[in-house]
Amino acid sequence: MKEKKKVGVALVHELCPVCTKEMDSSILLNTKLSEKAAESIDRLNGTVKWSRDWCEECKDMKTKGFILIGAVEAKTNDATNPYRSGNIWVVKEEVAEELFAPHGAPKSGVAFVDVTTAAQMQLPGVNLDA
């Protein structure tokens, strides 16, 4: 009789949620020691997910101001994961507060901005061709 697998292991790759750069990978191991949990973990092997932490470069950018991530609204299918243009800007907190008035800038210190808005703001290097 063949013994059922009760231990699942997966290597999951993580991306920085700001710049999308690949960061350290995580090793997942199921703790329930059941066949169902092992299968669930095994399916995650080799997948990519957003990290809960930012990469060191993005953490450093955040110390300098508010981060704007360029997005292309016309190519966005999922509002929770906008199509990125490849642009990232750091602006003064005051600029972000004005941009998001009257509600103010998000407390996270980072937000998506459509590239057409970024071009109107005259942010440098706007990638309108993304």
- pTM of the model as a whole: 0.79
- The type of residue at 29 is L
Residues 50-79: pLDDT tens digits? 999 999 999 999 999 999 999 999 999 998
Question: Does 70 lie in the same domain as 46?
Answer: no
Domain annotation covers residue 99: yes
Kindly state whether residue 90 falls inside one of the protein's structural domains. yes
**pLDDT over 70 at 118, yes or no:** yes
**Number of folded domains that form the chain:** 2
CB contact at 8 A, 83 and 75: yes
pLDDT digits 0-9 by tens, 2-46? 667 888 899 999 999 999 999 988 898 988 888 999 999 999 999
For residues 42 and 86, state if they share a domain.
no
Residues 6+ apart with CB under 8 A from 94: none
- Domain of residue 30 covers 9-50
Indicate the SS3 state at residue 105: coil
For 79-88, what is each residue's pLDDT tens digit? 888 999 999 9
* Spatial separation of the C-alpha atoms in residues 5 and 84, rounded to whole Å: 40
